Structures are given as structure tokens and as C-alpha cells.
Amino acid sequence: MDMGKDMNLVFLMLKVTNGMSKRSYKKKFLPNIAHIINRCVGVRKLILYPQGDKTCEGKGSISINVAIDESNYFPNNNWIVCAYLKFFVLNQKTKKYLTIQEAKGALKHFDNLRTEHGCAQLISLDELNDPSNGYLVNDCYVFGVEVFVIQPSSGNEEILTMVKEPNGGTYTWPIKNFSKLNDSLEYSNEFTVGGRKWTLKLFSKGIKSDMRKSLSLYVWLSDWKSVIPKRKVYAEYKLRVVDHSRVEKQEILRDERDFGPAHFALKIESYSLLSNAPLGHGKRYESGIFYVEGYKWKLILYPQGDKTCEGKGSISLNVAIDESNSFPNNNWIVCAYLKFFILNQKTKKYLTIQEAKGALKHFDNLRTEHGCAQLISLDELNDPSSGYLVNDCYVFGVEVFVIQPSSGNEEALTMVKEPNGGTYTWSIENFSKLNDNLQYSNEFTVGGRKWNLNLFTKGIKSDMGKSLSLYLWLSDWKNVIPERKVYVEYKLRVVDQSRVEKVEKQVSHWFDSNQDCGFSDFISIKELHESNKGYLNDDTLILEVEFDVISVTKVRP
């Protein structure tokens, strides 16, 4: 489906499998996790604070944010991206997702000055870590986010104007020699009113049950084929026979925002005429079709309220999925969040209306229509001081956020403790005869990644000539999924071959590019050559790296 123009929905699941006890989780798993998704419009990161973002009152809770990544291209510093955020925590016992969002579903503005938004107190650590709650199963959590990006300029707009007493609105059809007509059905010449072509149809001998009893007279929209599909034309008219002797004539959340709906706007001019018009069954006006996520939709307006759903005294606004959509069978279902709009034409701000809990609406073969029966009271709407009614004109709108359950990305992050093959030993013979300062070990594999040890025999940087420098290098860094880091806790050591003592240092590091991590002053050259220590036995140096923890990331597109 096309997600590129009107609304961009990004769904990311982050599965965190720690592979540690709770105690080691709290002590060791301290680095904030930031992973990137790139879909539709821009690059975004999901950022997890396992111990809470203490800069935003997140202490005692887990915090989760979304950041728009700095690698996005914007032409200048005045860019802005607006989005709604909804966060998720999976209850692995009930298989249901806890959803967290701000009460009013506030629109977040990402810009050059603020690139990150989220929830500092997503869920308390006590509640999250209590196994009886179902969030923690086998030392594993699943978090997620939905990002609803709003593009203000991408919505369709339909303008419905009710024209009173249109120009050329009277057509007169003189029929000469009426008594000599042979055909029962007569057509007038075609005439134009309101930009449409019309014809009068006369059954001189009547029709149906009135055959030979009455004269039957009809107005016919003769250019009906040229009307935009699914758009109706409303008309109020009088038909007359001229006397030649006398010629006669639910809890609802409301908020405001600066720009309009992303998907569809309906502007109604001469609203008073529409509200008093006989709109047929249901007394409602149906807009033409608009498209969201490849589906056809209609906006349905009840000017006097949908009285079948307690809409009396209010205006009602619904969204219907159109019957012309092609579904393979009757078991189809489309899930969406709905947000309705009314323009305050004085303040130029839009009143937004949605259900308090942002309930997901299920459109299916049995129910194709959902909406808000009590969108706004008629008294408030029609009060000129409120700003909604200006020059007998209103502007309504809707945003339809379609959720495709199977379309989300999923990322599984597993923290593997003591991985298989996690110790690598590097024996360097004839150490004193080495000519090059930089030496590379053979490549070895741990946690599905390829690594090397890098040794500077005479030191590096400020420790040149003073110390031996030792580093661990992620040698297949080009094969790491873009923007995914690899977290490692490991020990580097120089083995004392007399088994009396050893030099060992511990490191925790996120590897994400062509970089190594270690120590320029791992062991002094003087100590390395001391004869009473067994670091150089038979001119052989033995180095080791031992992996304690390594992260393994799997991504399902």
C-alpha cells in the first residue's frame, strides 16, 4: 500500500532478551539502547532508558523515546516533522499489548531544536519486573512504538456549495399542439443550471398507477455520466403548469492544533440550506470518495445529528469504508484510529475530537461505518461567537490512521551471557623480532560476528615507547545491519605463562563502525620484559580476550 503522501505510520517492535539475572541486569545493562528504523519519511530511533531518564523525572520507571535521526536530509534549519506517538509493552502471558500515550494524544513537533520526544514514566520498574504482571518472561521484554506522521499539506479537500436562486434557474417549456402528441413520453430541450445539464420529462398520459389518470412530470439530470463518481447533486425546485390567464412563479477528548486534517477536509458553504434539506434516508450527506492507505473512504455528515445513535441536538460525523473496495472474501477487516476536525475560522485553529481512549475501530463486512454521534452541540456550533460558523460556512475534516498488524518491523535484541567460543587465545612467537609496531591476530567469531585483536608492540599515541597497546576490533563491521550497534562486555589479558599472575582489564562497549576499543597503556614495556614474570617465555607472548556478554540483534522487516 502507498504510505508516502498523506500519512506515514511506522511500527517498530524492540524485543530485549537480557540473558542475565535481575541483579546483573540492573548493574550491567546500563547503556541506553538506540536503534534506527528507516521507512516512508525520514529516519527515526527508538531510545530505551532501562533505568529511566533521570533528566525528565524518569527515576524509578523505564523511559522510552523516539528521536528523528540526524542523518535525515533537510534543506535548512527550519524543518519540522509532526507526529503522534503511541508506545507498547507486551504482556507475554495474556498476549495483549499495553498501550501508552498522552491523554490528549498531543501532536509532537520534531525540529532542529528538539529531535526527541517520548514517555519518561512509561511503566514503573517495580511493575515491569514483577513476573506476575506478565511483562517479564524468561528474562525478556518486548517494547514497541507507532509513529503517526502528519503531513499538513497532503490532505484532499472537497468544497460543497449550496447555491440559492442560481443564475438561469428558471426554465420554461411551451408545448404546442399538446392534444396532437402521439408519444406518451416527451423530452424538453436540454438546459443548464448550476453547471449541470437538465431535461424535463413529461408523460402526457401518466405513468404506472397514474396511467391515463394524471399528467406525470419529472426533472432529469441528463449529463449524469459527467458527474464525478460518487458525488451527488442536491437540488430544490418547483415544478409547475402555468395558468396562461395568471402567470405565477462518547467521553470525548478535545484539543486544538494549528493545521488541518492530513487526509480529508469537507467545506460546506450555505450550510443553512443543507441542514434544512431533505437528505433522504438517515438525513445525512455523504462526501465523495477519498483514499487512505489504498482504501476508499467517505465522510458522512448528519447536519441535525444521527438520532439512531443519541446524536439529537448535536452534529454527527462518521467515516465509512466504501463498498467499492475490493476484498477477497467476507472475512476482511480494516482497523483504524479516527480523529475529527472542525475549523475555528476566527482563530484559524482546528478543534480536534477523538475518543478518550483512542479506541481502535474495526471496519468489516458487518459494520462499515464508525464515528462520533455527538461531535459538537448544534448550539455551540451555530453560535457565531464560537468562530465555527462564518458566512454560513463550516469546515469539517478527518484523519484515518490505518493499522496493518503484519506490516510492523520487529527487532529482537538478545544479551547473551558467556557466549559459545567466547575465549580467544593469540600466541605470538619471536616477539622480540617483530618489525612492525601494529600486529593483527587471526580473525575469530563470537556471537555471529567476526573479530580481531590489534596489538601495538611499541605502544601508540602518548604511550609510544612506554607501553604495549591492545585493542579488540569488530572486523566485519561492514556487515552489521546499518545503524545497529553490537554491545560487548569483555576482558583483555596478557597471560603470565608461569601462572603466577596476569594483567587483565575489563571493557564494556557498543561497536557500530570501523573502530576498536581497548587500552593504549595496557602493560608497560618495562614490566612486560621483567625476567621474574612469565609474560615472555621463550620469546612468546600470549594474549587473550574473553567475552562475558554480547548482544545479538535480529530484525524482521
Tens-digit pLDDT profile for residues 279-293: 665 688 899 999 998
The predicted-structure confidence for 224-257, as pLDDT tens digits, reads as follows 888 777 678 888 888 888 865 443 335 678 888 8
Contact between 53 and 65 under an 8 Å Cβ cutoff? The reply is yes
Contact between 149 and 39 under an 8 Å Cβ cutoff? The reply is no
Residue bearing the bigger pLDDT, 356 or 2:
356
Show the cell assigned to 166: 442560481
The predicted-structure confidence for 299-333, as pLDDT tens digits, reads as follows 999 988 887 777 888 899 999 998 777 888 888 88
- pLDDT of the residue at 507: 93
- pLDDT of the residue at 14: 62
- pLDDT of the residue at 405: 66
Residue bearing the bigger pLDDT, 555 or 441:
441
Q: Output the average pLDDT for the chain.
A: 82
CB atoms within 10 A of CB 382: 16
Report the alpha-carbon distance of residue 270 to residue 278 in Å, rounded: 15
Residues 27, 28, 31, 33, CA torsion sign: negative
pLDDT at 10 over 50: no
Range 465-479 average pLDDT: 89
Q: How much of the chain, in percent, has pLDDT values that exceed 90?
A: 32
pLDDT at 52 over 60: yes
Report the alpha-carbon distance of residue 344 to residue 347 in Å, rounded: 6
Longest Cα–Cα distance in the chain: 136
- pLDDT of the residue at 312: 83
Edge-to-edge strands of the sheet including 33-38?
33-38, 43-49, 61-68, 116-124
- 311-341: b (≥16 Cβ within 10 Å) or e: beebbbbbbbbbeeeeeeeeeeebebbbbbb
Report the alpha-carbon distance of residue 33 to residue 29 in Å, rounded: 9
- pLDDT of the residue at 347: 92
Band (456; pLDDT cuts 50, 70, 90): very high
Q: Go through the chain and tell me how many residues it has.
A: 557
- Tell me the helices (H) and strands (E) count for the chain, helix number first: 5, 36
Report the alpha-carbon distance of residue 355 to residue 338 in Å, rounded: 8
Contact between 57 and 111 under an 8 Å Cβ cutoff? The reply is no
Residue bearing the bigger pLDDT, 276 or 133:
133
- 539: CB partners within 8 A, 6+ apart: 429, 430, 431, 432, 433
Report the alpha-carbon distance of residue 151 to residue 401 in Å, rounded: 13
Contact between 547 and 422 under an 8 Å Cβ cutoff? The reply is yes
What percent of the chain is helix, strand and coil (3-state, nearest 5)? 10, 45, 40
